[in-house]
Homo-oligomer: A and B are copies of this chain.
């Protein structure tokens, strides 16, 4: 039972960190302003999330794959906006 609570906490934590990028994507779609965003942050973040996804595939962990693949797509959207809008 205690293990289930801990697993649930991990699930909630993963959902929050993955979902967190969505408000930035939506804000940037709306404003088309990215001046204050760090290009280096999103280059390094997207690279790291891609490697996390590969790591998840190699260890066969579906939660690691799905959380990082979704985060990678969202962070890549922000990176593309940053490159486009400067």
Q: Write the residues of chain A forming the contact surface with B, with a CB cutoff of 8 angstroms.
A: 6, 9-10, 12-24, 26-28, 31, 33-42, 44-45, 47-49, 51-52, 54-55, 58-59
Pairwise interchain contact A55-B6, C-beta atoms closer than 8 A: yes
Q: Give the contacting residue for A9; candidates B28, B40, B47, B58; CB below 8 A.
A: B58
Pairwise interchain contact A59-B20, C-beta atoms closer than 8 A: no
Knowing A34-B36, A36-B36, the reply to whether A44 touches B16 (Cβ < 8 A) is: yes
Q: What residues on B are CB-neighbors of A33 within 8 Å?
A: 35-36
Pairwise interchain contact A38-B48, C-beta atoms closer than 8 A: no
Q: What residues on B are CB-neighbors of A6 within 8 Å?
A: 55, 58-59
Nearest-neighbor residue (CB-CB) of A17 within chain B: B48
